Amino acid sequence: MTDTAAQKALNDYVEAMTSLCIVGKFGDYFLHNPEMIFERRSVIRGLFNFWSITDTQGLKQNLEWTIAEGARKEFAELYSRLTSVSEAERASIGHNTDDPTHKHRLSVVRQYLWRMPTVGIAAHDYSMAVYRACAGRKLGYLTEQEKWAYIEEVIPMVKKDFSSWKDYLYSFHVGAVFTSHLLNADYINENSVLLTKLLFSRNDSFRRASLS
Protein backbone atom coordinates (compact mmCIF):
# COMPACT_ATOMS: atom_id res chain seq x y z
CA MET A 1 0.00 0.00 0.00
CA THR A 2 1.44 3.38 -0.99
CA ASP A 3 -1.46 5.77 -0.41
CA THR A 4 -0.87 7.26 3.06
CA ALA A 5 -4.43 8.58 3.37
CA ALA A 6 -5.88 5.18 2.48
CA GLN A 7 -3.55 3.47 4.95
CA LYS A 8 -4.58 5.89 7.70
CA ALA A 9 -8.26 5.18 7.01
CA LEU A 10 -7.67 1.44 7.19
CA ASN A 11 -5.63 1.87 10.35
CA ASP A 12 -8.74 3.07 12.19
CA TYR A 13 -10.32 -0.31 11.44
CA VAL A 14 -7.12 -2.10 12.45
CA GLU A 15 -7.06 -0.33 15.83
CA ALA A 16 -10.73 -0.99 16.49
CA MET A 17 -10.57 -4.64 15.50
CA THR A 18 -7.32 -5.58 17.22
CA SER A 19 -8.15 -3.81 20.48
CA LEU A 20 -10.60 -6.65 21.15
CA CYS A 21 -8.05 -9.42 20.82
CA ILE A 22 -6.50 -9.38 24.29
CA VAL A 23 -8.91 -10.73 26.88
CA GLY A 24 -8.48 -11.34 30.59
CA LYS A 25 -7.11 -9.00 33.24
CA PHE A 26 -5.26 -6.82 30.71
CA GLY A 27 -8.17 -6.61 28.29
CA ASP A 28 -9.53 -3.31 29.59
CA TYR A 29 -6.10 -1.66 29.31
CA PHE A 30 -5.69 -2.59 25.65
CA LEU A 31 -9.26 -1.61 24.81
CA HIS A 32 -8.39 1.90 25.93
CA ASN A 33 -4.80 1.89 24.68
CA PRO A 34 -4.91 0.04 21.35
CA GLU A 35 -1.62 1.58 20.25
CA MET A 36 0.17 -0.53 22.90
CA ILE A 37 -1.10 -3.90 21.74
CA PHE A 38 1.91 -4.67 19.55
CA GLU A 39 4.61 -3.11 21.74
CA ARG A 40 5.99 -6.21 23.47
CA ARG A 41 7.49 -8.85 21.20
CA SER A 42 7.67 -11.34 24.08
CA VAL A 43 3.89 -11.20 24.52
CA ILE A 44 3.30 -11.64 20.79
CA ARG A 45 5.76 -14.51 20.60
CA GLY A 46 4.03 -16.21 23.52
CA LEU A 47 0.66 -15.93 21.79
CA PHE A 48 2.09 -17.28 18.54
CA ASN A 49 3.54 -20.24 20.42
CA PHE A 50 0.12 -20.85 21.99
CA TRP A 51 -1.37 -20.86 18.48
CA SER A 52 1.45 -23.13 17.21
CA ILE A 53 2.68 -20.43 14.82
CA THR A 54 6.47 -20.58 14.70
CA ASP A 55 7.47 -19.25 11.29
CA THR A 56 6.37 -17.35 8.20
CA GLN A 57 4.86 -20.38 6.49
CA GLY A 58 2.82 -21.32 9.55
CA LEU A 59 1.54 -17.78 9.92
CA LYS A 60 0.54 -17.50 6.27
CA GLN A 61 -1.28 -20.83 6.40
CA ASN A 62 -3.11 -19.72 9.53
CA LEU A 63 -4.07 -16.37 7.99
CA GLU A 64 -5.29 -17.92 4.75
CA TRP A 65 -7.42 -20.46 6.64
CA THR A 66 -8.80 -17.84 9.03
CA ILE A 67 -9.77 -15.49 6.21
CA ALA A 68 -11.22 -18.23 4.00
CA GLU A 69 -13.26 -20.13 6.60
CA GLY A 70 -11.87 -19.91 10.13
CA ALA A 71 -13.80 -20.99 13.20
CA ARG A 72 -16.97 -19.45 11.73
CA LYS A 73 -17.34 -22.44 9.39
CA GLU A 74 -17.60 -24.93 12.26
CA PHE A 75 -19.87 -22.56 14.20
CA ALA A 76 -22.20 -22.25 11.20
CA GLU A 77 -22.29 -26.02 10.72
CA LEU A 78 -23.17 -26.64 14.37
CA TYR A 79 -25.69 -23.80 14.31
CA SER A 80 -27.38 -25.23 11.21
CA ARG A 81 -27.47 -28.68 12.75
CA LEU A 82 -29.04 -27.50 16.00
CA THR A 83 -31.65 -25.30 14.32
CA SER A 84 -32.76 -28.10 12.00
CA VAL A 85 -33.92 -30.49 14.73
CA SER A 86 -36.56 -30.49 17.44
CA GLU A 87 -35.87 -29.11 20.90
CA ALA A 88 -35.73 -32.62 22.35
CA GLU A 89 -33.23 -33.76 19.72
CA ARG A 90 -31.22 -30.58 20.21
CA ALA A 91 -30.85 -31.24 23.92
CA SER A 92 -29.45 -34.72 23.31
CA ILE A 93 -26.87 -33.76 20.68
CA GLY A 94 -23.36 -34.01 22.04
CA HIS A 95 -24.18 -36.06 25.11
CA ASN A 96 -22.30 -39.07 23.78
CA THR A 97 -19.11 -37.29 22.81
CA ASP A 98 -15.96 -37.56 24.90
CA ASP A 99 -14.32 -34.64 23.11
CA PRO A 100 -14.33 -31.71 25.59
CA THR A 101 -13.70 -29.15 22.84
CA HIS A 102 -16.64 -30.36 20.76
CA LYS A 103 -18.85 -30.49 23.84
CA HIS A 104 -17.86 -26.94 24.80
CA ARG A 105 -18.51 -25.59 21.31
CA LEU A 106 -21.88 -27.28 21.10
CA SER A 107 -22.87 -25.74 24.43
CA VAL A 108 -21.89 -22.27 23.23
CA VAL A 109 -23.85 -22.59 19.99
CA ARG A 110 -26.82 -23.94 21.94
CA GLN A 111 -26.72 -20.99 24.35
CA TYR A 112 -26.64 -18.37 21.59
CA LEU A 113 -29.10 -20.07 19.25
CA TRP A 114 -31.45 -17.57 17.54
CA ARG A 115 -29.41 -14.66 18.94
CA MET A 116 -26.59 -14.40 16.41
CA PRO A 117 -25.96 -12.12 13.43
CA THR A 118 -26.36 -13.86 10.07
CA VAL A 119 -22.58 -14.21 9.74
CA GLY A 120 -22.23 -15.86 13.14
CA ILE A 121 -18.81 -15.42 14.74
CA ALA A 122 -17.14 -13.97 11.63
CA ALA A 123 -15.96 -10.92 13.59
CA HIS A 124 -13.68 -13.11 15.69
CA ASP A 125 -12.01 -14.53 12.59
CA TYR A 126 -11.65 -11.08 11.05
CA SER A 127 -10.12 -9.48 14.14
CA MET A 128 -7.76 -12.37 14.77
CA ALA A 129 -6.60 -12.36 11.15
CA VAL A 130 -5.79 -8.64 11.30
CA TYR A 131 -4.16 -9.01 14.72
CA ARG A 132 -1.96 -11.89 13.55
CA ALA A 133 -0.99 -10.06 10.36
CA CYS A 134 0.13 -7.02 12.37
CA ALA A 135 1.81 -9.16 15.03
CA GLY A 136 3.52 -11.22 12.35
CA ARG A 137 4.95 -8.05 10.87
CA LYS A 138 6.25 -7.06 14.32
CA LEU A 139 8.07 -10.41 14.61
CA GLY A 140 9.44 -10.18 11.07
CA TYR A 141 7.34 -13.05 9.70
CA LEU A 142 5.67 -10.76 7.16
CA THR A 143 6.83 -7.79 5.12
CA GLU A 144 4.96 -4.50 5.44
CA GLN A 145 3.44 -5.11 2.01
CA GLU A 146 2.27 -8.60 2.98
CA LYS A 147 0.74 -7.31 6.20
CA TRP A 148 -1.32 -4.69 4.38
CA ALA A 149 -2.33 -7.18 1.69
CA TYR A 150 -4.01 -9.33 4.35
CA ILE A 151 -5.62 -6.31 5.99
CA GLU A 152 -6.92 -5.06 2.65
CA GLU A 153 -8.50 -8.47 2.09
CA VAL A 154 -10.27 -8.53 5.47
CA ILE A 155 -11.62 -4.98 5.85
CA PRO A 156 -14.04 -5.19 2.88
CA MET A 157 -15.40 -8.44 4.37
CA VAL A 158 -16.04 -6.62 7.64
CA LYS A 159 -17.86 -3.79 5.87
CA LYS A 160 -19.95 -6.23 3.86
CA ASP A 161 -20.94 -8.42 6.80
CA PHE A 162 -21.55 -5.86 9.56
CA SER A 163 -23.55 -2.64 9.70
CA SER A 164 -22.66 -1.68 13.28
CA TRP A 165 -19.83 -2.14 15.76
CA LYS A 166 -22.37 -3.30 18.32
CA ASP A 167 -23.13 -6.37 16.18
CA TYR A 168 -19.43 -6.80 15.48
CA LEU A 169 -18.56 -6.79 19.19
CA TYR A 170 -21.26 -9.34 19.94
CA SER A 171 -20.09 -11.60 17.12
CA PHE A 172 -16.48 -11.27 18.23
CA HIS A 173 -17.10 -12.15 21.85
CA VAL A 174 -19.31 -15.15 21.10
CA GLY A 175 -16.46 -16.27 18.83
CA ALA A 176 -13.99 -15.78 21.66
CA VAL A 177 -16.06 -18.03 23.90
CA PHE A 178 -16.57 -20.59 21.12
CA THR A 179 -12.86 -20.94 20.37
CA SER A 180 -11.58 -21.01 23.95
CA HIS A 181 -12.63 -23.40 26.70
CA LEU A 182 -10.92 -20.96 29.09
CA LEU A 183 -13.88 -18.58 28.68
CA ASN A 184 -17.23 -19.69 30.02
CA ALA A 185 -20.51 -19.22 28.20
CA ASP A 186 -21.52 -16.37 30.52
CA TYR A 187 -18.54 -14.31 29.34
CA ILE A 188 -20.65 -11.84 27.36
CA ASN A 189 -23.12 -11.18 30.17
CA GLU A 190 -20.26 -10.78 32.64
CA ASN A 191 -18.53 -8.29 30.33
CA SER A 192 -21.58 -6.39 29.10
CA VAL A 193 -20.57 -3.26 31.01
CA LEU A 194 -17.08 -3.38 29.51
CA LEU A 195 -18.51 -3.80 26.01
CA THR A 196 -20.79 -0.81 26.51
CA LYS A 197 -17.89 1.27 27.81
CA LEU A 198 -15.86 0.28 24.77
CA LEU A 199 -18.23 1.96 22.35
CA PHE A 200 -17.95 5.22 24.29
CA SER A 201 -14.32 5.02 25.37
CA ARG A 202 -11.45 7.24 24.33
CA ASN A 203 -10.58 4.51 21.83
CA ASP A 204 -12.37 6.56 19.17
CA SER A 205 -11.21 4.36 16.31
CA PHE A 206 -14.70 2.81 16.57
CA ARG A 207 -16.22 6.18 15.74
CA ARG A 208 -13.80 6.97 12.93
CA ALA A 209 -14.14 3.55 11.29
CA SER A 210 -17.71 3.58 10.08
CA LEU A 211 -19.69 0.41 9.39
CA SER A 212 -22.95 2.17 8.59
Whether residue 100 contacts residue 178, with contact meaning beta carbons closer than 8 Å, is answered with: no
Please give the pLDDT value at position 121: 97
Residue 109 above 90 pLDDT? Answer: yes
The total number of residues written for the chain in this structure: 212
| Residue at 19: amino acid letter | S
CA-CA-CA-CA dihedral for 40, 43, 44, 48, to nearest 10: 170
Mean pLDDT of 162-185: 84
Greatest Cα-to-Cα distance within the chain, rounded to the nearest angstrom: 57
pLDDT computed for residue 197 by the predictor: 62
Please state the φ and ψ torsions of residue 82, each to the nearest 5 degrees: -70, -30
CB atoms within 10 A of CB 140: 9
How far is residue 194's CA from residue 188's CA, in Å, rounded to a whole number? 9
What average pLDDT score do residues 152-172 get? 93
Q: Give yes or no for residue 62 having a pLDDT over 70.
A: yes
pLDDT of 72 higher than 90? yes
Average pLDDT on 110-131 reads 94
The per-residue pLDDT of the chain, averaged, comes to 84
pLDDT at 195 over 70: no
CA–CA separation, 120 vs 77, rounded Å? Answer: 10
Contact (Cβ atoms closer than 8 angstroms) between residue 129 and residue 63: yes
- Full DSSP string of the chain: ---HHHHHHHHHHHHHHHTTS--STTHHHHHH-GGGTTS-HHHHHHHHHHTT--SHHHHHHHHHHHHHTHHHHHHHHHHHHHHTS-HHHHHHTTTT---HHHHHHHHHHHHTTT-S-TTTTHHHHHHHHHHHHHHHHHTTSS-HHHHHHHHHHHHHHHHHH-S-HHHHHHHHHHHHHHH-TTS-TTHHHHTHHHHHHHHTSS-THHHHS---
Question: What pLDDT score was predicted for residue 2?
Answer: 47
